[in-house]
Every structure is written in structure tokens, then in C-alpha cells.
Structure 1
Amino acid sequence: MNKDMAAKVRAGNGFIAALDQSGGSTPKALTQYGVKEDAYSGDAEMFDTIHAMRARIVAAPAFNGDKVVGAILFEDTMDRDFAGEPAAAHLWNTQGVVPFLKIDKGLEQQADGVQLMKPMPGLDALLDRAHDLGVFGTKERSVIQAANAKGIDAIVAQQFDVARQVLAHDMMPILEPEVTISIPDKQEAETLLRDSILRHLDDLPDGTEVMLKLTLPEMPGFYQVLVDHPKVMRVVALSGGYSLEEATRRLTLNPGIIASFSRALTERLSVDQSDAEFNDSIAATIDAIHAASTAD
């Protein structure tokens, strides 16, 4: 595992940008950006269009390692270039941003109040390829829709199984068992999730570390025990549908957790902005997320 990248992530003087919209979430992200679905035809054009948006973000002067610790890439993005350089290499070598890769292949149908990850055939080969391209770690998402102990235990067990596979390839896994922000029993679900994660952390060998990406909790400081855990490199937060304003407000109430926002990162960007307007807008957003991520 790259020691310089690990040190950058561990210091956490910034946030992780989530640039990993998948085939399912890309149309919504493009619509938010001002690109309607009739502006492209088929998946190839869609991915070309979202890559152009991502490349514009990465090229913005404010998008650098001073405030952006890392960036999570979709597989299609990892296989492309930024500024004529392979995406992961460009992020680290040119901008000082640690590259991660989204590896999950979507969600199963809901059962026991949760959506597990679909099978990931070929994961070992993908991890080998990502490692060779200079990717530091991975991210894998599943979703909790209710405070169901059986379902949440199943989600956490699956997340840790995948994490062990990632660790075997000398990469850092980010486990993302997302709690849906709109459920009525969100705080109860967070309690079940935290306690299950702690049990699974205890089963990891000493000296092993993982990262956690969690929905911002209802109770400030609720995940502090995970932030302080010796087997957790970092806890990062997803925006989960909260606005940028609400996500950053909640983040400031949870010291030690840094952001890993996707929708909130791009909500003020538009395809119709001039380069100057776009750069000013992303700079303001980066400043806001960085300030919330580093608040004491």
C-alpha cells in the first residue's frame, strides 16, 4: 500500500470527492448539471458526457490536494485520461489527490430492510488492474432502508467480506453501508449499524485498517467510537441527499469525520456556466466542504 497516499488520507486535512456516479445514477447527475437525457444517446455517449463534467471538475484550479484529499472514480473514469494522463496517475502525480475506485455493481432487491450488493464477478482481476494503475483503495455501497437487525448484520458481514478481498490486494477498502436519510427509524438503524461494525472490527487482525463511509448521524458525535478505533483509518460521510448546506452543517457537528460528497459537491455546477463561473462555483463548494471537514 502506498505509504505517501496512506499518510495523506490519515491526515485528513480536507475531504474525498465522490466522482463515481454509475450507469444508474449518471442520468440524474447529468440532469442536475443541466444536461437533459435527450442530449445523448446510449451508454457510450452518456459516459462521454459525464466524463467531460468530471474532467472539468478535476481541471478546476481549486481541485487539488490542498483541500481535496482523495477522489473516488467510477471504473469507466479510471480507464480514461485527465489532461492526457491516465486518470488515477493524474490525480496523484499532478494534483496530490489520492485515487479510489467504486467496485460494487449495484444493489439487490430489498430484503430484511436492506439492499445487499450484487455479486461482483471478476473482482480480483479488477483489483489487480486498479492496483497496477496506482489506485489506493476502493469503495463499495449497500443500503439500509429500515432498522432491521438481521438485515443490518447481513449488510455489515458482506461489507467486511469484500473488504478482506480488497485488503488481500494491498488496497484500502472504504465500506459504505448507507442509511437512507428519509426512514423514520434512522437513529435506531444507526445504533444497530454502529454496534455491528464494532463487532466486525474486533474480528479483524491487529494492524489491519479499513475506512468507513457513513450517512451523517442524527446524534452529533454518534460515530466517535469508530473515528477513534485503531482499526479505522478514516471515517468519511456521504451527503445522502442532504443539500450542501445541510450536509456541511451536520458534518461540523461530527469532528473527526471528513466529507465524501457526490451530489452536494456538484449541486451548484452547470454545463452552461462559463469556465470562470464554473471554477468560482466549484471553488466555493470546495471551500465549504473543506471547512466543515476540518472543523474542530
Structure 2
Amino acid sequence: MKAYVFPGQGAQFVGMGKDLYDNSPLAKDLFEKANTILGFRITDLMFEGTDEDLKQTKVTQPAIFLHSVILAKVMGADFQPQMVAGHSLGEFSALVAAGAMSFDDGLKLVSQRALAMQKACEAEPSTMAAIVGLDDAVVEEVCAAIPEVVVAANYNCPGQLVISGSIAGVDKACTLLTEKGAKRALKLAVGGAFHSPLMEPARAELASAIQATQINEPVCPVYQNVTATPFTNPADIKQNLVAQLTAPVKWTQTVQNMIADGATLFTEVGPGSVLQGLVKKVDRNAQTAGISKLA
């Protein structure tokens, strides 16, 4: 079975999508439509901007979404998913690619999500850290014992978990987890505590926008981050999208469930190859491929 997976924040690079724009009339139309919807020329920042330009959350999230979704659209009949999933932001790309949301609605939601998350980051200084080389249960236990806000945020693959929370909470957790034997406890260069309770203002802000968006039944099951299980019912999909901002990304469990349900090839659609690497770390026998530009 063909599984398509869609990357999240951090996969961006300057020049992303330019070959699509230059070589596909459909892609060019969709990129120009995106410029109009967003109210600024995101294509200029994607194709010729700086790394700093692309690191702005309001740019990063729509840019990665556009690269992934437009690639899937340009693939046309070659894009025949039997199951899809996306990492955090990538879940929106997966939903649009699978026909659950229109291109316009997906882009508007991603833009609103980025701005709401940025606002939540600015309201309370917070951060994230990657913890390598410990069992998930040990990380969860240490975080739960700290009186500050700090939680498991991204279950990326066995032995690699990202924590999220207040600066004091994450610092304390990094110290304790290093003492517990973590190979690395590395703070990430991010603007805030994504997928933690500190994103509650963003979740509340985005909830009404998601509820007001038309969601259709996708062409195949969408494995959503919050539960790592497949959904096709529009009401369930909406509920999970709202919960996603403050809940952890269960990527390890998602990949395990997709394999258990028959996935034989994981194709990453969009910038970078991070998800291919994570899939291999979940199951070294899994077949992976990547599509980041026109063949």
C-alpha cells in the first residue's frame, strides 16, 4: 500500500518550489493564487529570500504547505494515495492533498495557524528541546515531576522525543534527563512551545476557523497526529485538528500503525527528507522515497 507523508516546520530551504513555478503552468497559477490569498508575495521569499525570511513562522508554515500541496497537485494521476499523514503542520498538507479540504481553505487555515502560534509565542517566552537516547516513558516521567510547564511534544522515532514548555521547565528537564542518561538534550532554535499547553491561546483562536471550514471525506484514511490513527469522518478530522495545537505529535505511533495497516512504501512529498529518516528509524525494513521537485 502507498502511504504519502508530508513534512512540518523545519524542512524549508531557500529556492523551494522554484522549479515547480518555472516548469508547471498549474503550479505557477497556484503559487500566484497563494500570493493573492496571503496578501504578500510568499514566492519571492521562498525562491529568493534569506534563511531568516523563511524562519518567520508566518512564512515558514505556508511555504512548506505550498511546496507539498502543489507538488501533489502537479503529480496529477500519479498521486494515488491509499493512506496519508503529516507531521504537525504537514497534517494540513495531507488533508488538502487527500481532498478533505480545498487548496484555498487549507492555505487560509495554515496562515491563521501560523499567526496564532506566533502570537502565543510572543505572549509567553517558551522553547523546545530534543531528547535523544532515552525511552519515552522516562522522558514523560521526568517532565511530569517538574512543577513548571514541560511536556512531551513530538514522538519522532524510538529514542528521539522533543519536549516543549516554559524556558525554566525545559532547562530543568534537560538537566534531569542528562542525569538519567540522555545522549543529548539539545534546545531547539524555535520561537515557542509548540504542542504544549502554552499553545492554548492559539488553539482557542484557531478552533472557530477550523469549525467554519468545509471538510469533506478524504479519498483515503488520514492518520492524525493526536491519536496516530486513521480518520475519514469530517467531524472527527476537525476535532483532531483543533486538539493538535496543544497535544503531542505521535509520529512514531503513526508510522507503526500505518505499517500494521499495510503500508509498504512511504513517499515524502515536499521539502527535505526528515520524515524518510524517521520512518527508517521506526522500521528499518520500511521502503521510503521522496518527491521534492518535478521529475
TM-score, length basis structure 1: 0.35
Q: Which has the higher contact order (CA 8 A, sep 6+)?
A: 2
More helix by share: 2
**What TM-score results when the alignment is normalised by the length of structure 2?**
0.35
